[in-house]
Chains A and B, each alone.
Chain A
Amino acid sequence: MIDRLRGVQLTAAFPYVLLVVFALCFAVVPPVMGYEVSSINLFNVGQSFATYAPLALGLALLMIAGEFDLSLAALYGLGAMLAVKTGADSPLTGVLVAVAVAAAVGLVNGLLVTIGGLNSVSVTLGSYIAVSGLLLIISDNASVPYLNYEVGLNLDSVLMTVLSRRSLIAIALFVVVGAVLRFTRWGRDLRAIGGDRRASRVAGVRVRRMLIATFVVAAVLAAVPGALLGYSLSSASPAYGGFPSLVFAITAVLIGGVALSGGQGTALGAAAGVLSLALLRETLAVVAAPSYASDLISGALLTAIAILAAPHLLRGARARRWVNTRPQVSEAAA
């Protein structure tokens, strides 16, 4: 039994090992190269976390369920734009509007994927383009200022030397979602759906309902950090968020131990993944590395993970894609 479990623990530990490695780099590399690291750099890491982590969390939920959503990238920007446009008087209203619109988009995505039985990458490609269009329309293709500067200052003021309200909100979202994932039936069902959809349905899990809800939650988790970023920067532009944020989120989620094949992953792991990448970026920023360095490293990481996770890489590994295991009768193809 011990032997059987050793493999799991190694895989499960990977995100945290990686986090330690990146943390060590962050602590060691700049001083060696003659740069100084201070608490403000840690604060910056926290700000990065606040900017990307909820998006990554939403994506993680979907990937655990064996689905994907490209439109999250556009929803992130849409969240910022809606909040800035409608939250001039009350920032909360702005966030609520962003959440409501995002939830509606998520609902449509979820319905199309489950009822229509469509591949989620394909559907959300369409909704990504459509929401990008919506973003351009709402913004009138120009960046919109947010005059209530107080809100941004308030969200970003330093608390306890390294935190801010914005990063605290992100952490709170992680705690809530992580607890649901870890301690409730919903979390178990989500992993079951991603692990084996047919088995889940046969066992009595309400697959469609869970999937639709997950699309909605993921969309909301994309819009909220977008909205807060809009306040924080005191403006929103149609170019915000967009694709680079999603790429960051995908990389973070994958190095955070969420399996591409579904069924596996934790909020804590995803958080570790986001922190790792945030640390990497900050390290590179401190040592004034050229702009491409971050892309180079995260692109290499992403490619490596995709290849390592590929089902055929090791001979004898179970061939998921080519070899017909059994007819899939799932209502939503993963």
Chain B
Amino acid sequence: MSHLSPVRTGAAGQGDSTRVPLVQATDLAKTYGAVRALRGVSVSIAPGEVVGICGQNGAGKSTFVKLLTGLERPDTGELRVRGEVVGFGSTLDGQKAGISIVDQELALVPQLSIEENMYLGHREVPLVGGKRARRARCQEILDQLGLGHLDPTTPLRYLRIGERQLVEIGRVLARDAQLLILDEPTATLSNAEIERVFAAVREVSAQGRSVLYVSHRLGEVLDLCDRVLVFGDGLLRGTHRVDQLDRGRLVQLILGEAGVVDSGHGVPRDGTATGPLELILDGLEIPGRLQPVSLTVRSGEIIGLAGQVGSGADDLVRALGGLVPEARGSATVGDASPLGSPSRARSAGVRFVPGDRRGEGLFLADTVRSNITATSMSRFSRLGVISRRGQRRLAEERTRVVGVAASKIAAAVGDLSGGNQQKVLLGRSLDETTPRVLLLDEPTRGVDVAGRAEIHRLLKDAAAAGCVVVFASTEIDELFDLADTIVTMAAGGLVGIHDKSSVTADHVLAEMANAGAQEASHV
């Protein structure tokens, strides 16, 4: 098939069974600005192989996958498919080379039917006709995935979230791709549904096609894969055959040298969890995404919601911030309910720091001064007229509290580092009276180590002043650094509630990866 001779030296898979690796990546590197997302990774995947990819967030998994599918171009390094060097410009090129991906964020169009979605962007769909054949094939795939009861002409928007996920997986099956990349494919699925996915993956592998399986759920990786690639800090930390691994060993590999987190290493604080009850959740739920959650939190307590994509941890935080109008059940802060709208949450004393700082948090083109005072203009205005001096004074005070240099007060907030941006958001939230509840989604995403420590200190100070802090995080280190109580979540429901001192990182990681206990969320 190739006019180029296969690489003869060094590469893995030189054994007699796999003459030419299906995909061979050599020394791939990718830098985004100052972030070295991938620092030279070489991987070779043989036909029929099922390869798992594990690693913490920011380890470089996503970047690696993007390079493979053609969504991004590598800065350096070389990618060969069946021995031929490829340079992808788009996902369509990736498709031509036989690589298809199921992204964790679904790429489905609700208005189209199941069949249309399954064949959307499929490069072999003719302009006219062929619909009957496609429907038949679609029905076969649906049967294979356990969705045989669905008609291919059903509009996608009438499917539950788990069913949609399966349709997306069906799309790569329909494409007859040689390499299927599944990125967190089971986050929203029930056990029965996951079994279907596994069966489909095994069948694909039996046909000699390869699968790349990216997952936080270690059990699934160990069950399904032949090999596991462990990423860390933009490097491939190691390749391991699963038959030489167990769960504990894999957790250690993923956590790296800081493997076993010292569960006591956060700064100890006085008076945790002894204050009065401040935040009470009673059956708070979001139909279709979050099963009823009941929880009581004391003044001064820091709660870490540990959960991966689709776990519902971020949904819970957003609901408490008033950003999920469809939330049901009750949540009370003192006497008030924060549910319904952000302004209601505000008047209940709740402050929300969004995870998407640039999209939902900051007014990027505005100055630090303007951003940090955006929600408390009443403090320096009379009859609606702003006192600029008052604004400046308040901004100076707040930047000092959160530790943003005074010289940056007139700078556009979009030009600041992630850490400083997050501090500005925190400064905005920590207004006159300390908020009663401070909510954060991924408090230190995209923040460097130093900034991270400062932000953690600020949050602990807020808690020491009596504020309830609830944050959602996917990072084990952060959960153990910051939280008093760790609440693990998976598949849209609560798994466990642990005092930090009485739980290990392994255990938390295992519970975060637990799809087992509950059924998947249903619409």
Contacts and interface: CB of A to CB of B under 8 A. Distances in A.
Tell me if chains A and B make direct contact, with any CB pair below 8 A: yes
Contact of B356 (A200, A203, A324): A324
A173 to B, nearest CB: 19
A1 B323 contact: no
A199 B127 contact: no
A34 interface: no
B107 A203 contact: yes
B127 A5 contact: no
B296 interface: no
Interface in A148-205: 183-186, 188-189, 191-192, 194-196, 198-205
Question: Of residues A5, A202, A324, which shows the largest number of chain B Cβ atoms within 10 Å of its Cβ?
Answer: A202
A32 interface: no
Given A1-B151, A1-B154, A199 B109 contact: yes
Interface residues of A, number: 35
Interface in B114-149: 116, 120-123, 125-129, 131, 149
Interface string B317-360: 00000010110000000000000000000000000001010111
A321 interface: no
Given A1-B150, A196-B110, A327-B359, A204 B325 contact: no
A185 B126 contact: yes
A244 B95 CA distance: 47
A195 B105 contact: no
Contacts of A200: 107, 109, 120-121
Contacts of B326: 316, 318
A202 B103 contact: yes
Contacts of A194: 111
A186 B108 CA distance: 17
B87 interface: no
Given A8-B158, A319-B325, A202 B111 contact: no
B112 interface: yes
B155 interface: yes
Nearest to B123: A204
Interface in A17-73: none
B128 A183 contact: yes
B127 A186 contact: yes
A192 B154 contact: no
A199 B108 contact: yes
B309 interface: no
Nearest to A179: B128
A263 interface: yes
Contacts of B155: 8
A317 B324 CA distance: 10
Nearest to B160: A4
A151 B360 CA distance: 59
Contacts of B171: 203
A188 B171 CA distance: 16
Given A191-B109, A326-B105, A184 B158 contact: no
A296 interface: no
B107 A198 contact: yes
A324 B359 contact: yes
B120 A184 contact: no
Contact of A1 (B91, B106, B125, B149): B149
Interface in B398-452: none
Nearest to B125: A185
A318 B323 CA distance: 11
B377 interface: no
B92 interface: yes
A127 interface: no
Nearest to A262: B111
A196 B127 contact: no
Given A185-B125, A316-B326, A327-B356, A199 B107 contact: yes
Interface of B: 90-92, 95, 103, 105-112, 116, 120-123, 125-129, 131, 149-151, 154-155, 158, 171, 323, 325-326, 354, 356, 358-360
24 contacts: A5-B154, A183-B128, A183-B129, A184-B127, A185-B126, A185-B127, A185-B128, A188-B112, A188-B116, A191-B109, A191-B111, A191-B112, A199-B106, A199-B107, A202-B103, A204-B90, A204-B120, A205-B120, A205-B121, A263-B110, A315-B325, A324-B354, A326-B105, A327-B358
